[in-house]
């Protein structure tokens, strides 16, 4: 649950969400309008169809859309005029596509993030929040490397006119585009084999509401340069597949006894396990009940009631969920995203 004090932080503010038509962006837009009493929420996206759908389904005078591209400085300047808060969710996130089209991935993620920072400063934005990824830690592919650069851009961004530039690191958000749950759903409904890269792989997983809570709390509580990391469960992919089969059967997508798997092997630039914290970051981090803060701002030391973590944060070393708890996670995530 999100504290009322955090909701009040966004009350009366103009908030811009880049990537507002994405799975997380859509949920964030709706949550802000329903719970935070903003002055205005703008969904900024290059997905024309998605924006049109939002226009026709969100009947709220405080909601507007902006058809634009984060690679365009002019689009961002126009959308950010008078903004108080910016959530930068727009990104190229598909790992294999990043390997096929690295220049496009670099353009969207690195150049786009640079433009967002510049436009936020020019507009006098109070706080800008970057949505990063576990792929930014010890990256092995183009997408992860670009996300690491995005984080560094935020950390290096000087506080001008009181603007805070803060970052969140996510794990895998279930039922978003390209997530393993979404892929399995399509395969189950088509009576195809469910494809597993490697049963031994593990991943951090979270729901859309978990992601929204982290974003909003980071914008409210974060200090410039800090990185917020949600505490998330680790899930073994073999266990996830078993739990998904139960869910698919319950939803009527497939017969439990007819589901078959196909092991495809890991792709280039895929890790066996995910990491959310570098080893060198541990010494300048603090741990709370719901999240870690990495690259802790010196201003936090005098008022912090936290402990320093004694480890890095990896899906390989965290205790994994069992089948039933994974099934509960899948269910909760599915119905949150609808």
Tokens of 184: 């399995």
Checking if the pLDDT of 302 tops 60, the result is no
List the chain domain ranges.
4-171+207-231+275-311
Lowest-pLDDT range, 19-33, 51-65, 69-83, 306-320? 306-320
Using pLDDT thresholds of 50, 70 and 90, give the confidence band for residue 267: confident
CATH topology assigned to domain 4-171+207-231+275-311: Rossmann fold (3.40.50)
Q: Could you read off the pLDDT of 60-79 as tens digits, one per residue?
A: 999 999 999 999 999 999 99
CB 135 within 8 A of CB 144: yes
Tokens of 64: 């507007």
Encode 276-292: b = buried (16+ Cβ within 10 Å), e = exposed.
Answer: bbeeebbeebbbeeebb
pLDDT on residue 276: 94
Tokens of 219: 């914008």
Q: What is the mean pLDDT of residues 76-93?
A: 97
Q: Could you read off the pLDDT of 123-180 as tens digits, one per residue?
A: 999 999 999 999 999 999 999 999 999 999 999 987 767 899 999 998 899 999 889 9
Place of tokens 């009366």: 12
d(CA 199, CA 240): 9
Q: What is the mean pLDDT of residues 246-268?
A: 91
């Amino acid at each position: 649950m999100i504290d009322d004090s955090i909701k009040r932080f966004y009350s009366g503010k103009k908030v811009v969400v880049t990537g507002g038509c994405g799975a997380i962006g859509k949920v964030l837009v709706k949550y802000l309008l329903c719970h935070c009493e903003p002055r205005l929420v703008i969904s900024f996206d290059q997905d024309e169809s998605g924006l049109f759908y939002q226009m026709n389904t969100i009947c709220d005078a405080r909601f507007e859309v902006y058809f634009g591209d984060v690679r365009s400085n002019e689009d961002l300047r126009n959308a950010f005029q008078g903004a108080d808060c910016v959530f930068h969710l727009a990104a190229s996130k598909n790992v294999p596509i990043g390997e096929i089209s690295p220049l496009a991935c670099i353009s969207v993620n690195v150049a786009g993030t640079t433009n967002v920072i510049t436009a936020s400063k020019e507009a006098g934005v109070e706080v800008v929040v970057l949505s990063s990824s576990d792929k930014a830690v010890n990256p092995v592919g183009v997408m992860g490397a670009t996300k690491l650069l995005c984080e560094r851009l935020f950390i290096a961004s000087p506080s001008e006119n009181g603007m805070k530039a803060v970052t969140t690191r996510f794990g895998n958000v279930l039922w978003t585009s390209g997530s393993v749950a979404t892929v399995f759903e399509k395969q189950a409904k088509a009576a195809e084999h469910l494809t597993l890269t490697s049963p031994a792989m593990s991943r951090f997983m979270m729901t859309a509401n978990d992601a929204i809570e982290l974003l909003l709390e980071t914008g409210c509580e974060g200090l410039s340069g800090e990185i917020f990391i949600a505490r998330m469960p680790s899930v073994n992919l073999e266990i996830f597949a078993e739990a998904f089969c139960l869910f698919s059967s319950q939803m009527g997508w497939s017969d439990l006894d007819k589901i078959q798997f196909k092991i495809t092997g890991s792709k280039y630039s895929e890790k066996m396990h995910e990491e959310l914290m570098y080893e060198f970051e541990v010494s300048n981090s603090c741990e709370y009940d719901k999240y870690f803060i990495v690259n802790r701002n010196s201003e936090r030391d005098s008022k912090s009631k936290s402990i320093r973590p004694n480890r890095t944060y990896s899906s390989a070393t965290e205790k994994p969920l069992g089948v039933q708890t994974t099934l509960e996670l899948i269910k909760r995530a599915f119905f949150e995203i609808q």
